[in-house]
Structure 1
Amino acid sequence: MVDFHKSWSGQLHAVATLMDEMQALGHHVVLACRSDSLFVEMGRQRGWNVWPALYLIGGFRPRKRLADLFRLCRYIVRNDFDLIHVNGSQDHWLAAFAIRLTRRKMALVRTRHNTKKVANTWSNRLLNQRWTDLQITACELLIKDYQNHPAFLKKTLVSIHQGVYLDRTRTDAAHRSRLRASLGFSESDCVLGISARVHPDKGHRYLLDAMAALNRPDLKLLVIGDGPGLQIMQAYAADIGVASRVHFAGYVDDVGTLLQIVDIGIQPSVGIETSCLAIKEIMALQKPVIVSDYGGLPEIVNHEVEGLVVSHGSAQALARAIGRLADDRHAAAMMGRAGRRRVEDQFTARLCAIRTLNAYRLALTQIRPPNNRLPGGPGELLAASRLPTTAE
Structure 2
Amino acid sequence: MRTIQVVNVRWYNATAWYGVTLAHCLQKAGHESLVAGLEGTPPVMKARELGLPTVALPFNSQTPGGLLTLVRGMESLVREFNPDVVNCHRGEAFILWALMKKRHGFALVRTRGDRRLPRGGFVNRWLHCRAADAVIATNSLMTRHFSEALHVPSDRLYTILGGVDTARFHADRQAGAEVRRRYGFSERDIVMGLLGRMDEVKGIRETVVALAKARKMSPEAERIRFLVIGFDSEFTTEDVSRWAREQGLGDLGGIVTVTGRVEKPEEVINALDFGILASLGSEAIARAALEIMASGIPLISSTTGVMPDLLDAQYCFAPGDTQAMAERMVQALNEDWRAGLAQVCVDRIFKGGLRLEDFLEASLNVYDRAIHSARRTSAS
Question: What is the TM-score with the length of structure 1 in the denominator?
Answer: 0.83
Please state how far the C-alpha of 1:153 moved relative to its aligned partner.
4.2
2:337 corresponds in structure 1 to 331
Gaps of 5+ in 2: 1-7, 216-220
Q: Which moved more, 1:308-317 or 1:219-228?
A: 219-228
**Are residues 1:277 and 2:280 paired?**
no
1:373 corresponds in structure 2 to none
Matched residue SS, 1:367: helix
**Are residues 1:310 and 2:317 paired?**
yes
Deviation readout 1:244-300 (Å, 9 max, x if unpaired): 322223444533232121211111223222231211211111111101223321210
1:140 corresponds in structure 2 to 140
> Which residue among 46, 49, 63 is the counterpart of 2:50?
46
Please state how far the C-alpha of 1:51 moved relative to its aligned partner.
2.2
Please tell me whether the aligned partners of residues 112 and 137 of structure 2 are also in contact (alpha carbons under 8 angstroms). yes
**Are residues 1:359 and 2:362 paired?**
no
Deviation readout 1:92-135 (Å, 9 max, x if unpaired): 234224335xx011111111112202222333233223322211
Q: In the aligned structure 2, how far is the partner of 1:52 from the partner of 1:234?
A: 43
RMSD: 2.4
Amino acid at match of 1:339: C
1:383 corresponds in structure 2 to none
Deviation readout 1:323-342 (Å, 9 max, x if unpaired): 1112x112211321232122
**Are residues 1:178 and 2:178 paired?**
yes
> Which residue among 12, 20, 23 is the counterpart of 2:24?
20
Matched residue SS, 2:373: coil
Q: In the aligned structure 1, how far is the partner of 2:49 from the partner of 2:290?
A: 25
Amino acid at match of 1:25: A
Deviation readout 1:162-209 (Å, 9 max, x if unpaired): 100111023444432232232332332111111123333333232111
Deviation readout 1:304-352 (Å, 9 max, x if unpaired): 5xxx1223321111111111112x1122113212321221112101101
> Which residue among 297, 317, 334 is the counterpart of 1:287?
297
Amino acid at match of 1:292: S
> Which residue among 197, 211, 222 is the counterpart of 2:227?
222
Q: Which moved more, 1:284-293 or 1:215-224?
A: 215-224
2:84 corresponds in structure 1 to 82
Please state how far the C-alpha of 1:367 moved relative to its aligned partner.
1.6
**Are residues 1:321 and 2:325 paired?**
no
Matched residue SS, 1:146: helix
Amino acid at match of 1:287: I
Q: In the aligned structure 2, how far is the partner of 1:250 from the partner of 1:151?
A: 45
Question: What is the TM-score with the length of structure 2 in the denominator?
Answer: 0.86
Greater RCO (CA < 8 Å, at least 6 residues apart): 1
Q: In the aligned structure 2, how far is the partner of 1:119 from the partner of 1:234?
A: 40
Please state how far the C-alpha of 1:224 moved relative to its aligned partner.
2.5
1:260 corresponds in structure 2 to 270
Please tell me whether the aligned partners of residues 175 and 271 of structure 2 are also in contact (alpha carbons under 8 angstroms). no
Matched residue SS, 1:108: strand
Deviation readout 1:197-225 (Å, 9 max, x if unpaired): 33333332321111111234421112233
